Amino acid sequence: MIKMTAFSCRPDERQFFEEFAKMYQIELVMTDQPPSLENVDLLKGAQAACVITTPVSGALLEQWSRMGVRLVSTRTVGFEHIDCKRATERGIAVTNATYTPNTVAEYTVMTILMAIRKMKTILIRGLGQDYSLAGIRGRELKNMTVGVVGTGRIGETVAKILSGFGCRIVAYDVFQKESVRQIASYQELDKIWEMCDLITFHTPATPETFHMVNEETLAKMKDGVVLINMARGSMFDTPALIDALERGKVGAAALDVVENEGKIYYKDFKECPVPHHEMAILGAMPNVLMTPHTAFFTDEAVSDMVECAMKSCKRLESGEDDPLRVN
Residue 97 near residue 79, CB atoms below 8 Å: no
Residue 186 near residue 155, CB atoms below 8 Å: no
Nearer to ligand NAD, 27 or 106 (CB): 106
Q: Which of 81, 90, 125, 153 binds ligand NAD (CB under 6 A)?
A: 153
| Smallest separation (angstroms) from ligand NAD to the CB of 305 | 10
Nearer to ligand NAD, 5 or 53 (CB): 53
- Quickly list H helices, 117-187: 119-127, 153-163, 178-181
Which element (helix H / strand E) includes 113? helix 102-116
Say which of 86, 293, 315, 317 is annotated catalytic. Answer: 293
Nearer to ligand NAD, 58 or 152 (CB): 152
140 among known catalytic residues = no
Residue 236 near residue 213, CB atoms below 8 Å: yes
117 among known catalytic residues = no
Say which of 232, 259, 315, 317 is annotated catalytic. Answer: 232
208 part of the interface to ligand NAD, by CB under 6 A:
yes
Q: Which of 5, 102, 111, 203 binds ligand NAD (CB under 6 A)?
A: 203
| Smallest separation (angstroms) from ligand NAD to the CB of 176 | 9
Q: Which of 293, 311, 314, 315 binds ligand NAD (CB under 6 A)?
A: 293
Is the alpha carbon torsion for 279, 282, 283, 284 positive or negative? positive
Residue 81 near residue 205, CB atoms below 8 Å: no
90 among known catalytic residues = no
Contacts of residue 271, defined as CB under 8 A and 6 or more positions apart, other chains included, come to: none
DSSP 43: G
Residues designated catalytic = 232, 261, 293
Chain positions contacting ligand NAD, by CB under 6 A: 77-78, 101, 104, 150-155, 172-175, 202-206, 208-209, 230-232, 256-257, 293, 295-296
